[in-house]
Amino acid sequence: MKYLVATKICWNESCKQVDDAENVKTPEVDFGEIRTKAKNFSFYTTIDAAYNLCLISEDLKKRLHELRLDRNDLIHGLYLYQENENLEVIKEELISIKEIIEELTSVFEDLIYEEIGVVIPEVLETL
């Protein structure tokens, strides 16, 4: 998700520079600085930034914050469930996380393919 936020910030800044200036050949955006800053975001900050950049819905923001609050308990709980061989509980928890990841995947694909306009899937192999 940090990558999504950094990419969206870079894209927005590039578009702003192109819109603000005539004959801009190459926008002067410090992609490295933006990505470094985003890499250092906490999970909380990343969720809020993704929402503020309109990458995720309010519902997904709420679910991600709930996941953030529960993640330490979740990991500990998964360990305990595994110890007690309660695989159904583990499965339910992981399905919930999978649904969030699938929604984020579609956000990523929309940003890369629709907004930015990447047309060659091989470009993403470097990620």
Distance CA 16, CA 110 (A): 20
The model's pLDDT over 7-51, given as tens digits with 9 standing for 90+, comes to: 888 888 888 877 766 665 666 778 888 888 888 999 899 999 999
The model's pLDDT over 46-72, given as tens digits with 9 standing for 90+, comes to: 999 999 999 999 999 999 998 888 776
**Predicted confidence (pLDDT) at residue 123 exceeds the cutoff of 60:** no
Both tokens of 56, joined, read 């995720």
Distance CA 102, CA 84 (A): 29
Question: What is the extent of the structural domain holding 31?
Answer: 2-126
| DSSP state letters, 1-45 | -HHHHHHHHHHHHHHHHHHHSTT-SS----HHHHHHHHHT--HHH
What pLDDT, on the 0 to 100 scale, is given for residue 48?
95
Whose tokens are 């060659």? That residue is 120
Total domain count for the chain? 1
Distance CA 90, CA 70 (A): 14
Distance CA 114, CA 99 (A): 22
